[in-house]
Amino acid sequence: MPETEQLMQGLKDSGCTDEAAARICALCSAGDYAAMLRQMKKARCALVEEMHESQKRVDRIDYLIHMQEKRMK
């Protein structure tokens, strides 16, 4: 598998949008590795933000579970 295809698949597997993955691969093909790295870091930040939002939802449901268990005692 060519390098660009591997990169595209890895980006998609990491949760990047098709548009972001295509943009990053285009930068790679153009040899603009600094811009490619910036875009990858930007995509990573978006994924971390999603993770934090997901953790907040888990915390909320844990609180509700805790409160219900407390009522049942």
Looking at residues 30-54, what average pLDDT do you find? 95
For the stretch 45-62, pLDDT in tens is 999 999 999 999 999 999
Q: How confident is the model at residue 2 (pLDDT cuts 50, 70, 90)?
A: confident
pLDDT at residue 28 in the model: 94
State how far the Cα of 19 lies from the Cα of 21, in Å rounded to an integer: 5
CA distance 60 to 73: 21
DSSP per position, 31-55:
T-HHHHHHHHHHHHHHHHHHHHHHH
- Alpha-carbon torsion 50, 51, 54, 56, what sign? negative
Q: In this predicted structure, what is the pLDDT of residue 3?
A: 83
Rg (CA), the chain: 19
- Provide, rounded to the nearest whole percent, the portion of the chain with pLDDT above 70: 99
Contact (CB, 8 A) for 25 and 2: no
The predicted pLDDT at position 1 comes to 59
